Structure 1
Amino acid sequence: MTGASAATRLHLPGSSPVHRLPAEVKIVAAVTFVFVVVATPREAMWAFGAYLALLAAVWTVAGIRLSWLAPRMLIELPFVVLAVLLPFAEGGERVVVAGISLSVPGLYAAWGILAKGTLGVLVSLTLAATTAVRELPEALARLHVPGSITTIVVLMIRYADLLAAEAHRMRIARLSRGDDPRTLRQVGATARGIGGLFLRAYERGERVHLAMLSRGFSGTVPAFGPPARSTDWISALAPSACAVLVCTTAWVTA
């Protein structure tokens, strides 16, 4: 696999107005939207429905289908499991639902995790679907993100598939030698394999960094294209501005 295949899995090519917006304005809009969702009181359930409606409007303009989003939402499953357990594990006031005693604070906590976590994942997927990976370095540079962080993010995206392929080759090599990683007695071998993969990743990172330095890399990613226009900022931040209004109303009416 290559870095391009990683981009293909999350990026949905298109020519919609959302796709054409500069990456830096979409990043700021997405981060703002997520912060607003997190700041919303969990008791204001209507507000989360309003956020979902705003995202649905963006999906309509960008041509993003629910059938594309649904399988990529599986990354949220660990948080769903945690949310399901909270009404049983929390203390405080209890309520009986279908003959089962549940914690009221646990129910609110579970709702908060599900609602805010789901919206956060949906915002991230929307950003990834409409923004190509190659646009990220310049966008982060325009946002004045420290050069070291930009470099780490770019290399992580570029070499994630290479490390996954390396781990797969190591697993095949173990299996071809009669190893069964599913048994408990192979825990030590699995740990050594993870350590070996870490060392290989570290060595590969050193080689790549030296190669970059030999080609004149100065530690910062230059921005070549024109900066985003004021109309781009207004268009990208419009859903976030609506979200801020919803959040403010939720706090006022709480």
Structure 2
Amino acid sequence: MGAGHAHKLYRHGHSPVHALPPHCKIAAVFCFVLAVVATRREAFWAFALYALLLAAVAFAARVPAPFLLRRMLIEIPFVAFALLMPFVAEGPRVHALGLSLSESGLWSAWNILAKGTLGVAASALLAATTELRALLLGLQRLRMPPLLVQIASFMIRYGDVIGDEMRRMRIARESRGFTARGVRHWGVLAKSAGALFIRSYERGERVHLAMVSRGYTGTLPVIDDVTATRAQWAYAAALPLAALAVCLTGWTLS
């Protein structure tokens, strides 16, 4: 997989959660999200328990709440979409604070907000306690298609390179007195985007030729492989098993 690659989503630490093998954590988060999605939307208490479970994991991982909340801001567009649903959905209406709201839209908005927020929080915790390189190794360990793992690896490795290329192009434009202020400047930005695409494509060809010249045959070598003990699997399974118990209890009490 190559050398390690630090990322702003990752928070370095030495907690028991950090020490778990990556494929254990990926499987645990995946099963936790499945249990959350399968929960009845009317079981408000269940979602509160899910939040407490994630809070317990964050406490064990020594991940501060502000750090986690900042990484969850990516959810804002989905929150905005959910907040619009009570106004645009059809069906019986309810009146609150002088507003006419759709009853089905309210339920749908709550369903999206509750389950989406828990899923984003679980993913943010996974990223905060697992390096990106380790995540790729974990996906490979879980038998993810090798081609998808390679694509993700190259995206991580060269995303910053393309970002730096964009920054240099912006500085070059500004040094020549260009400032995008309206529609009439879109043509220049479009040409810059085209130039960036060509440079990225050519860079990709050079990288591929360099890999082939070093013996690349379609699969990347695994420098190190991490195995998990039964105790580690049991520790990782605590979160999804607790979530499954909450989910089943919610359906039983319905």
TM-score by length of 2: 0.91
The one-letter amino acid paired with 1:227 is: T
Match of 2:240 in 1: 240
**C-alpha RMSD over aligned residues:** 2.1
For residues 102 and 226 of structure 1, do their structure 2 counterparts lie closer, same or farther at Cα, with a shift above 3 Å needed? Answer: closer
Could you give the per-residue CA deviations for residues 202-231 of structure 1, whole angstroms, max 9, x where no partner exists?
Answer: 222222233223333341442633411111
Q: Which runs of 5+ in 1 are unaligned?
A: none
Conserved? CA contact 1:86–1:109, under 8 Å? yes
Q: Which runs of 5+ in 2 are unaligned?
A: none
The one-letter amino acid paired with 2:237 is: L
Tell me, yes or no, if structure 1 residue 34 matches structure 2 residue 48.
no
Matched-pair identity in %: 50
For residues 221 and 41 of structure 1, do their structure 2 counterparts lie closer, same or farther at Cα, with a shift above 3 Å needed? Answer: farther
Conserved? CA contact 1:141–1:150, under 8 Å? yes
Tell me, yes or no, if structure 1 residue 103 matches structure 2 residue 102.
yes
| Count, aligned residues | 252
Conserved? CA contact 1:87–1:107, under 8 Å? yes
The one-letter amino acid paired with 1:212 is: M
Conserved? CA contact 2:4–2:133, under 8 Å? no
Match of 1:213 in 2: 212
Match of 2:126 in 1: 127
Match of 1:53 in 2: 52
- What is the distance in 2 between the residues matched to 1:7 and 1:97? 48
Report deviation, 1:137.
3.1
Give secondary structure in 1 for the equivalent of 2:100: strand
TM-score by length of 1: 0.91
Match of 2:201 in 1: 202
The one-letter amino acid paired with 2:242 is: C
Could you give the per-residue CA deviations for residues 87-146 of structure 1, whole angstroms, max 9, x where no partner exists?
Answer: 111111111111111111111111111111111111111001110123133222211112
Match of 2:84 in 1: 85
Give secondary structure in 2 for the equivalent of 1:77: helix
Match of 1:71 in 2: 70
